[in-house]
Amino acid sequence: MPREQPTALERFINGILPENPIYRQLLGMCPVLAVTNGMKPAMTMAAATAFVLICANTIVSLIRGLLKPHLRILVFTLTIATFVTIADRFLAAYVYEMSKQLGPYVPLIIVNCLIISRCEICASKQGVGVAVADAFGMSLGFALALASIATVREILGSGTWLGLPVLPAAWPGWGIMVLPPGAFLTLGLLLGIAEWASQRRAAGKRQEGGTR
């Protein structure tokens, strides 16, 4: 008998923290590292990914009865590629500067493992309502993770947040944080912190259970 599928609300909540795509599942790392040198590009990226994820999940969930097992991944990828083209043209038309700055990372949403895995795990098995809730939850989790990394990198790297100065002008600005190595270091340390917090929680729970 198949395991009972989670409901829409569970899917939504799961995406934000318990199954956070970046800190828990380590999915979709390329954009996470590449566009988080400032809050603005990070948020644009999060919005584009959310749009693609929600649309792709909806479509895949609607056609899930027609999917053949061996062509499944190809159908997912082509659906995603269509919506990425729309998002890319939209960004190029309305926020041209940002689209230039994001460069190849907008089309690279196509191969973001996060979206394919959500299509595979949730949308190809459950109804539209659940799939959309799942997509919203996952996008929110993705946006939160991007925001956390971008906040650290932008504040330490250029002393600003969303373009507004937050640190005193005397702050020298750690150039390395805006450059590629800073991305790896920040994400590695934040992963460590997230892991440490969850280990502490688990240890606390175990202790509670022991004293009871």
Q: Which of 111, 128, 167, 178 binds another protein (CB under 8 A)?
A: 111
- Piece of 7-15, 27-35, 40-48, 118-126 that binds another protein (CB under 8 A): 27-35
DSSP for 160-178, written as a single string: EETTEE-S-TT----HHHH
Site residue total, another protein (CB under 8 A): 40
Compute the radius of gyration of the chain from its Cα atoms: 19
Q: Does 121 bind another protein (CB under 8 A)?
A: no
Which residues, other chains included, contact 180 with Cβ-Cβ below 8 Å and sequence gap of 6+?
Answer: 33
Q: Which of 18, 127, 192, 204 binds another protein (CB under 8 A)?
A: 192
Query: Given 3-state DSSP classes, what are the helix, strand and coil percentages for the chain, each rounded to the nearest 5?
Result: 75, 0, 25
Q: Which of 43, 47, 108, 167 binds another protein (CB under 8 A)?
A: 108
Q: Does 53 bind another protein (CB under 8 A)?
A: no
Angle at 197 between CA 11 and CA 142, to 5 degrees: 40
Number of neighbours of residue 208 by Cβ within 10 angstroms: 9
Kindly tell me which of 73 and 162 has the beta carbon lying closer to another protein. Answer: 73
For residues 24 and 63, what is the distance between their CA atoms, to the nearest angstrom?
29
Q: Which of 62, 78, 121, 202 binds another protein (CB under 8 A)?
A: 78
Q: Does 128 bind another protein (CB under 8 A)?
A: no
* Residue 140 contacts residue 16 (beta carbons within 8 Å): yes
Binding footprint of another protein on the chain (CB under 8 A) = 26-27, 29-30, 33-34, 73-74, 77-78, 81-82, 84-85, 88-89, 104, 107-108, 110-111, 113, 116, 176, 179-185, 187-189, 191-193, 195-196, 199
